[in-house]
Amino acid sequence: MKFSIFSVLSILALFNVVIGAYTNQELLDQVKKASTKVLTLTDKNYEKYLNGPRDYHVVMLLSSQSPQFKCPLCNEFKPEYELVANSWNQDHPNGVNGDNEKDIFFFYSEFMNSKDFFQKLKLNNIPKCFYLPPSTISAKDGWVTETDEYQFFQGQHATLIIDWLRSVTEHKFNLHVPINYTRIAVNAGITFGVLVLAFIFNKQVMKVLTSKTLWTGAAIFLILLFNAGYMFNQIRQMPYVREHPDGRVDYWVQGQQAQLGFETQLVSFIYGILSLLVLLLIKQVPKIQHPQVKLIAATLVSVSLFLGYSLLLNFFGLKSPGYPFRFVKFVK
């Protein structure tokens, strides 16, 4: 089924090459029929779509969803691009009806299906987003010279695309984010469920909520996490460890203003152990009645504390090379 439609389309496309570009109305019909409002460009049909003269604006995204490229920006960008296209279509289901204004059509091209097309534009990286103005040039491949490239920036892609399109097409754009009803329903369901459960088991819930141990644990856990630079990892999106192409793995990086995800875990673990040992000294060791056992316990805890602290100092010394203090030198 899929194959047949495709072949029919391609035959049609081949047929049409001779005649020239689509008219505005033909494209509008295509968009109306299509399930997504973004038309697909492939090696077979791009000439038909792009060769002039054109009576409409063309916006095209050249990208790939293929996993072999490992392109996070591609995956990030495409939905936002489609959102802009759909919003445009929602506002103008029958095209713009002004006299001097031209329609805009959105295209998407997947690299796996359109290698020649990408070659024609001499692309060596993706994603790329181009704009083609209405044109009277009817020469073959005349459109190549008319491309206006979109600059990728950090930020909300959809609004950035709209800003760009507004400047090149001088059309007004609105963004219609479709309301995700299932998500609202699921959220409402979960909230309701939780409330009902809380009401039914209110005694148990209150017990948990008023449990001192729980709150103590949570507070100390949070403190250990934050003081070991957890927020740094979150904000800078640091990798857990750093892998080199030759297979070596770095678990830490030098420098006081840098760290990897693993470091946070290690350091909060060390802090936790050290705190625990001090607590043992304060709370548990004095309770031991037998004097010899008490001495052994105190010695054990003190020595572990000493070793733990030296480990921390060694690690800190690795991070900041100028630091002169160590108790025991584990590493140079």
| Residue 231 binding another protein, by CB under 8 A | yes
Task: Name the phi and psi angles at 89, rounded to 5.
Answer: -70, -35
Distances (CA, A) of 33 to 14, 30, 37, 107, 274: 20, 5, 9, 15, 67
Which residues in the chain belong to E strands, given as ranges? 38-41, 57-63, 104-110, 128-132, 148-149, 242-243, 249-250
Is residue 325 a contact point for another protein (CB under 8 A)? Answer: yes
Structure tokens that stand for 54 in this block? 């054109």
Is 272 near another protein (CB under 8 A)? yes
The full DSSP string for 171-211 is: ------PPP-HHHHHHHHHHHHHHHHHHHHTHHHHHHHHT-
**Segment contacting another protein (CB under 8 A): 22-30, 110-118, 128-136, 251-259?**
251-259
Of the candidate residues 72, 155, 245, 321, the single one contacting another protein (CB under 8 A): 155
Beta-carbon count within 10 A of 332 CB: 6
| 96 near another protein, rule: CB under 8 A | no
**What are the Cα distances from residue 259, in Å, to 30, 70, 107, 178, 263?**
53, 24, 42, 40, 6
- Smallest gap, in angstroms, from Cβ of residue 330 to another protein? 17
Binding mask 199-218 for another protein (x = CB under 8 A): -------------x--xx--
Please, which residue, 14 or 222, has the CB nearer to another protein?
Answer: 222
* C-alpha R_g of the chain: 32
Residue 205 C-beta: closest distance to another protein, Å = 15
Which of 172, 212 has the CB closer to another protein? 212
Among 32, 219, 240, 269, binds another protein (CB under 8 A): 219
List 13, 168, 298, 307, residue binding another protein (CB under 8 A)? 298
Q: Does 269 participate in binding another protein (rule CB under 8 A)?
A: no
- For position 263 contacting another protein by CB under 8 A, the verdict is yes
DSSP-assigned letter for residue 228: T
User: What one-character DSSP code corresponds to residue 152?
Assistant: P
* Stretch in the footprint of another protein (CB under 8 A) among 24-32, 44-52, 139-147, 311-319: 311-319
Instruction: State yes or no: residue 150 binds another protein (CB under 8 A).
Output: no
The Cβ of residue 324 has, within 10 Å, a number of other Cβ atoms equal to 5
Contact footprint for another protein (CB under 8 A): 151, 153-156, 163, 167, 212, 215-216, 219-220, 222-224, 226-232, 234-236, 256-259, 263-264, 267, 270-272, 274-275, 278-279, 281-282, 285-286, 291-292, 294-295, 297-299, 302, 305-306, 309, 312, 316, 319-320, 322-325
